[in-house]
Amino acid sequence: MQILDGRKVADDLLAHTKEEVRILINSGIQPKLAFLLIGKHPASLSYVKQKEMACQKTNIQYEHHAFPETSSTQEIISLISELNHREDIHGILVQLPLPSNIETPLVIKAINPEKDVDGFHAYNLGKMMLNKNFESLTPCTPKGIIILLETYKIPIEGQEIVMVGHSNIVGKPLSMMLLNRNATITTCHKYTKNLKAHTLRAEILIVAVGLPSLITGDMIKPGAVIVDVGINRVDGKLVGDVNFEQAKEKASFITPVPGGVGPMTVACLMANIVIACKKLTQKNS
């Protein structure tokens, strides 16, 4: 069994991004991201902190806009409109989930698709559906998982891949990106009958649900590649959605939690900021 070391691959990707940022700065362009954080969701605070640290590592500038929990959809959209027009801002990131009084789809729709470094806007998701060549600003976690698999030379084409979870952030876009790479993809979710019958077929099993130990050893095909996207806090410890101790006896490759998918997400966000910055500034010059 081999560990898929997301921390190491993410560090290499960050080093590459830092070099790209250096070249941009030398030509007079300073990449800059705007964060919007609404409320004080503890996990969101921690994710934003990690993203800010990655900006510091890669010399991407950032500014932080904190809104109270009670803010209205309109107040957030007003700031986004301002940021859409500012030439010094190349990426806009609204940390999700938003408080229930806010209409998340309207907020995402308000972001200029060219500054949508999370890849959540319908324009970017729609383009991604066409084929691999039209993927550009794609959601960071799916992008990170594909880079991780590619780095370890794990084949995707023709593979039996089971995705557990159908969120707009991970499960749905990742299923589409794997289909773009000619995988045979099954997407399972909480309404799936007999989850185990599906997971047992998986040559690559990807789990993004948010339930500790949802996947136990008996649900894993011997030799499978396991990608665990879950981040759950149990007794003060971070664990994934896969029972790691049981899974490591069956898997050929497995991502640890922490140190697997999480760092890849953050590194891909930095890469997306550079992609957006280059495209925006080429157009302006």
Residue 2 annotated in active site: no
List 114, 116, 118, 228, residue binding ligand GUN (CB under 6 A): 118
One-letter amino acid for residue 272 of the chain: N
Q: Please work out the total of residues on this chain that contact ligand GUN, with binding judged by CB under 6 A.
A: 9
Closest CA to 64 of 89, 81, 85: 89
32, 115, 118, 250: the active-site residue: 118
Using CA atoms, how far residue 169 sits from 59, 279, 285, in Å, is 26, 23, 33
Task: Give residues with Cβ within 8 angstroms of 123, minimum separation 6.
Answer: 113, 116
Residue 51 annotated in active site: yes
Minimum Å distance from CB 167 to ligand GUN?
Answer: 9
Nearer to ligand GUN, 141 or 180 (CB): 141
Task: Give residues with Cβ within 8 angstroms of 198, minimum separation 6.
Answer: 162, 186, 188, 192
3-state secondary structure of 186: strand
Task: Give residues with Cβ within 8 angstroms of 191, minimum separation 6.
Answer: none
Closest CA to 127 of 135, 119, 139: 135
List 13, 55, 93, 108, residue binding ligand GUN (CB under 6 A): 93
**What does the per-residue mask of binding to ligand GUN show for 134-163, with x meaning CB under 6 A?**
------xx----------------------
The answer to whether residue 169 forms part of the interface with ligand GUN (CB under 6 A) is: yes
Minimum Å distance from CB 205 to ligand GUN?
Answer: 20
CA-CA distance, 216 to 186, in Å (whole number)?
Answer: 19
The residue with tokens 């904190």 is 66
Nearer to ligand GUN, 17 or 95 (CB): 95
Minimum Å distance from CB 93 to ligand GUN?
Answer: 5
The answer to whether residue 96 forms part of the interface with ligand GUN (CB under 6 A) is: yes
Nearer to ligand GUN, 94 or 149 (CB): 94
Q: Tell me which residues touch ligand GUN (CB under 6 A).
A: 93-96, 118, 140-141, 169, 265
**Active centre residues (catalytic):** 51, 95, 118
